[in-house]
Homo-oligomer: A and B are copies of this chain.
């Protein structure tokens, strides 16, 4: 069986998203012209970029069950991008992160509108409230897109429990992440657990299961997909940790060293913390988490991290998890044609060059 190419798939997914967003943005206008910016803001946020990782993994889960999805099934998979939009928009509010994918984040866009149009009251609160509600709307729209995808009832009913579980795990993982930022001690173990929920499960394992459930995949297939998806998801998150410190703003869409300014408690930094000498520790925590780091200070933190060997440890862990994930593709439950489709996704999730 010949599956679609990743680039073609992305085009199709984008097409379905574009159609949905334009139709439902129009419906908002029927309620009130004041909702125009809501539809435009959310549509641009979603359509301007994004790798469509979750729909691609859902596609992988579907084809692993031995079937080729039609238009309706692809629409159902594309709905995961709206869920992800909710997560990102709320994340940016919670982190007070002003940039997303190289552009102002949603709360910043609405804050700027408030200033430009000389509204009354606090521009900051207006931006924040708008982003909370647009995130909520994205969550509701993701459900609506799934429900109105025209997949047949059996597929929908089979996918709903996985979909609900995925969304609970997403919110749980997000909370654990927020909670971790408030802790005073470091724990690589806790950070790895968060990586498992936020990325292992939500980004990879559950989208695979969601796709497989749409295709009524067997319990054996579900286990095989977990064995493939969980280590890959952790590797994905560890790569994200490295990009948050060493990444090129062109690739990440965030300012250089963003996680360092934010003081983000990642597995990488937990490894750094374990390895520091008392002198290095003092230098490190003098700068780490300060919102106004200069370029030189970011460089200083980076060199402490490199000298600690933590990034090498993370690279080794990524390599280990990646090979675990690739071996899981040998499972009987996954056809060799499906495995062939899935192998480049491993590359994509752990290298993040695409």
Contact = CB atoms under 8 A, between A and B. Distances in A.
A344 interface: no
B90 A172 contact: no
* Top 4 A-B residue pairs of the complex, sorted by shortest distance between their CB atoms: A119-B182, A94-B129, A137-B171, A140-B167
Contacts of A135: 132, 136
A178 B140 contact: no
Given A147-B164, A164-B144, A168-B140, A179 B34 contact: yes
Contact of A175 (B35, B143, B153): B35
Interface of A: 24, 27-28, 31-32, 34-35, 38, 86, 90, 93-94, 96, 114, 118-121, 125-126, 128-130, 132-137, 139-141, 143-144, 147-148, 153, 157, 160-161, 164, 167-169, 171-172, 174-176, 178-179, 181-184, 193, 197, 263
A28 B35 CA distance: 36
Contacts of A181: 120-121, 126
Contacts of A86: 136
Contacts of A174: 133, 136
Contacts of A144: 164, 168
Select the residue from A31, A90, A129, A168 with max chain B CB neighbours within 10 A: A129
Nearest to A145: B164
A242 B17 CA distance: 43
Contacts of A96: 125
User: How many protomers of this protein does the assembly include?
Assistant: 2
Contact of A31 (B94, B141, B160, B197): B197
B125 A183 contact: no
Nearest to A118: B184
Contacts of A183: 119-120
Contact of A136 (B90, B118, B128, B193): B90
A178 B31 contact: no
A32 B140 contact: no
A171 to B, nearest CB: 4
Contacts of A126: 178, 181-182
A165 to B, nearest CB: 8
A34 B176 CA distance: 7
A193 to B, nearest CB: 7
A130 B175 contact: yes
Contacts of A132: 90, 93-94, 132, 135
Contact of A32 (B133, B161, B172): B172
A129 B91 CA distance: 8
Contacts of A172: 28, 31-32, 35, 38, 137
Contact of A133 (B130, B153, B169, B178): B178
Contacts of A128: 94
A94 B164 contact: no
Contacts of A119: 182-184
B164 A140 contact: yes
